[in-house]
Structure formats: structure tokens, C-alpha cells
Amino acid sequence: MSKIEEVKVLVETGKSKKVAAAVQEALDNGAKASEILEAMIASMGVVGEKFSAGEIFVPEMLIAAKSMAKGVDVLRPLLAGDNSASLGTCIIGTVAGDLHDIGKNLVTMMIESAGFTMVDLGVDVPAERFVEAIEENENVTLVACSALLTTTMPALKEAVATIKASGLTGFKVIVGGAPVTAEFAQEIGADGFAPDAGSAAVKAKELVA
């Protein structure tokens, strides 16, 4: 088994204590950080399928998520590049009712490396909290909202509507997450959408340019 395959299996089976060392070994064997990240994201897809099929339950999903986070910790310095440019502050959070944060954390890392100062509000963020954060922070140029559940898509819509109705200006709103599409983003009045963390960074720069 290649080291990357080993990382995939460790994430899928939630062996959180072994993931960091396996990721490091994969890197030492010449694997690229981006390749390892893609493999771990694919593992989460497998975990989701097993959950849908009733083969595993929430605790196993949670342990897999923790395992992936350990792997991401090792990759972080390699993935987050030069952030010397200053494109302003980006407020980011997962919307109300939603506890998923792996994707949001990857997006945070990539947008930060694109040159933004990040303010991460965490998960289960009420719409009004996004507005407060825009008011509390200097030079907010971007607000990023994540939603991973079809059931929290209305909360994403509410977040965008509340932010837009606040009357505050000077920033763009970008949305994303597995169930979110470009069409939905447009429909709810967001300024931008991206399907993954890499393209989120590109879109973020484009939006504030």
C-alpha cells in the first residue's frame, strides 16, 4: 500500500493518532501536499457514502473528521503560501444549525494565503453574528459563509439576506459548501461562489480586485 493510500485508510477508519505520522511519511516519500489533501477529501466522501448506506454512524463520522484535521495540521504550512499581500479582512463562518467545519477551515487557510486577514466565527453562526463581526472589524472586504447540509441552505440564504439588508458596504459575500451551486448562490444574492478551497481563494481575490 502506498503511503497516500495508507493515509486514506487511516482517515476513513478514524485512526486519528496515526494520521499525522502517516502524512509526514507520505511527504517524506515525495508526495505533494495537495495530493495528500485530495486523498483525505476523497476519504471523507467515502465516509459520507458509508454513513448514507447505514454502515457507520455519527460518532464514526466525527472520528474520521478529527483524523482528517490531524492530517491537515501537518499540511497547513505547506498549503498556506505567502500571505504578505493585504486584501483586507475576511469574516468566515459556517451558518446557523450547521456544525461542519473541515471545508470552512480549508477555505480559511486558502483565502488567508491569498492575502486576507481572517476572522473565523466558527460553526453554527447566526446571521446577525456575521453583521456584528463586519461592524467590529476594520477593513472588511469579504464575508464567506459555508453550509454543508441541504437543511441549512435556508440559513445560508438568511445569512446573505441579513448581511445585505444591514446597509453595511465595502465588502463582497462569497458562499460555498457541498450542496451549494453557482445558481443557488446567485439566487440568494451572494456576490460569488466557489466549489472548493483552491478556487475560493482565486474567486476571493477576483471579488475584491
Q: Which of 42, 62, 78, 168 binds ligand B12 (CB under 6 A)?
A: 62
51 binding ligand B12? (CB under 6 A): yes
Q: List the alpha helices (DSSP H) in 31-152.
A: 33-52, 58-79, 102-113, 127-136
Closer of 29 and 45 to ligand B12 (Cβ): 45
CB 96 within 8 A of CB 125: yes
Q: Which of 29, 23, 121 is nearest to 79 (CA)?
A: 23
Least CB distance to ligand B12 at residue 20 (A) = 17
- Cα angle value 29/33/39 (rounded, 5°): 90
- Cα angle value 32/92/199 (rounded, 5°): 40
Least CB distance to ligand B12 at residue 186 (A) = 14
Q: Which of 175, 188, 207, 208 binds ligand B12 (CB under 6 A)?
A: 175
Percent of the chain that is helix, strand, coil (3-state, to 5): 60, 10, 30
Closer of 134 and 200 to ligand B12 (Cβ): 200
The interface with ligand B12 within residues 110-169 (CB under 6 A) comprises 144-146, 148-151
Query: In the complex, which residues of this chain contact ligand B12 (CB under 6 A)?
Result: 41, 44-45, 47-48, 51-52, 58, 61-62, 65, 97-104, 106-107, 144-146, 148-151, 174-179, 194, 196-197, 200
